[in-house]
Amino acid sequence: MTGEPQACSIARSLEIIGDRWTILILRDAFRGIRRFDELRRDLDIARPVLADRLRRLVDHGVLQKVQYQQHPPRSEYRLTPMGVELSPALVALMRWGDKYLSDGAPPTVLVHETCGNALEQGFWCPHCRQTFSPAEIASRPGPGAAVLTDELPTRGPRAHIH
Amino acid sequence: MTGEPQACSIARSLEIIGDRWTILILRDAFRGIRRFDELRRDLDIARPVLADRLRRLVDHGVLQKVQYQQHPPRSEYRLTPMGVELSPALVALMRWGDKYLSDGAPPTVLVHETCGNALEQGFWCPHCRQTFSPAEIASRPGPGAAVLTDELPTRGPRAHIH
């Protein structure tokens, strides 16, 4: 990883969404706030900044600009399938804020739509067929791993998240 | 949410970790890179910036500065339980990058330590006892919800992530 921050999927993701405004725009898109002026109002964000972030998200394939009305022309920004798959990251951020930054009173509860019960988010091993805690996560080099060098750290009982 | 970005757990979380350097520092802490000079070298980050981000993370209770050697005094930054619980967010960012930004060759594979098999991350309903997709997430106001106003958006088939 040393000197090659791009050889890490977290770093690569942050190059696209590692910006506070960008994540709040995506949160709003999940909430159904998808038009330029609505986003501007909800986020109290400067027009050029919002335009820049939306353009980047469209360029990267996370949002799609869709014309929903022809006369006069009006567009909105919808999550692509790639964008929808950011939901686990947003849900995780929300649950962490719920637990540690909300004084025990979360502003919003995410539920399973079918039954209305609060959802859980977890890690699952399809081999052992069981859920498990973060402490049981380990890692190994994947097919896109950089060549190992002596610079790579090996301290600690195990490496967790690369 | 309008005018009150703090009434949202995602916004609150981003006030603490909504910074690219901060997330990369946390990634390194999970990997076992926990000392100032190691972090500086791994991230190629300026000393004052690293010092500022570490101080903020300690102030917020995400990292703890621990002296691991007395002569000469040497310290490292360890994840607190609050910090460890950021792992679902980091894992989600990583998996998204693996899927969309790695040309099919993820640099690292996260596994269940016990068996070495690649982990999955998902949503689980404890009532229905089943996993489900992001499309089946809905939301309702929680105990810390702000007073509803006409300004709150209601468009779309349902609100997803607030």
Per the CB < 8 Å rule, is B140 touching A111?
Answer: yes
- HSE-CB at A149 with a 13 A cutoff on CA atoms is 7
Q: What confidence tens digit (pLDDT) does each residue in A82-121 have?
A: 999 999 999 999 999 999 999 889 999 999 999 999 999 9
Give the pLDDT score at A147. 55
Give the pLDDT score at B147. 55
Crossing angle for the helix pair B9-17 and A87-101, to the nearest 10 degrees: 90
Element (H, E) at B20: helix B20-31
Q: Does B135 touch chain A (CB under 8 A)?
A: yes
List of residues 6+ apart from A101 with CB closer than 8 A: B9, B12, B13, B16
Q: What confidence tens digit (pLDDT) does each residue in B82-122 have?
A: 999 999 999 999 999 999 999 889 999 999 999 999 999 99
> How do the domains of chain A map onto residue ranges?
86-119
Give the pLDDT score at A57. 97
Give the closest of B10, B16, B107 to A142, CB-based: B107
Low pLDDT (below 70) residues in chain A: 1-6, 147-162
Q: Does A161 touch chain B (CB under 8 A)?
A: yes
The ipTM is 0.86
Contacts of A138 in chain B (CB under 8 A): 110-113, 116
Q: Does B150 touch chain A (CB under 8 A)?
A: no
In whole angstroms, give the CA distance from residue B10 to residue B83. 16
B17 in Cβ contact with B23 (< 8 Å): yes
In whole angstroms, give the CA distance from residue A58 to residue B134. 21
Give the pLDDT score at B145. 87
In whole angstroms, give the CA distance from residue B160 to residue A29. 9
Predicted model pTM: 0.86
Q: How many CB atoms lie within 10 A of CB A98?
A: 22
Interface residue of A100, A102, A117, A131 to substitute, partner B, most B CBs within 10 Å: A100
Q: What confidence tens digit (pLDDT) does each residue in B52-65 have?
A: 999 999 999 999 99
Helix %, strand %, coil % of chain A (to 5): 40, 20, 40
Residues 69-88 of A with CB under 8 A from B: 82, 84-88
Contacts of A40 in chain B (CB under 8 A): none
Computed over every residue of chain A, the mean pLDDT equals 87
Size of interface A-B (CB pairs under 8 A): 358
List of residues 6+ apart from B72 with CB closer than 8 A: none
Give the closest of A8, A108, A153 to B139, CB-based: A108
Contacts of B142 in chain A (CB under 8 A): 98, 105-109
If you compute the radius of gyration of chain A from its CA atoms, what whole number of angstroms results? 19
In whole angstroms, give the CA distance from residue A92 to residue B90. 9
Q: Does A45 touch chain B (CB under 8 A)?
A: no
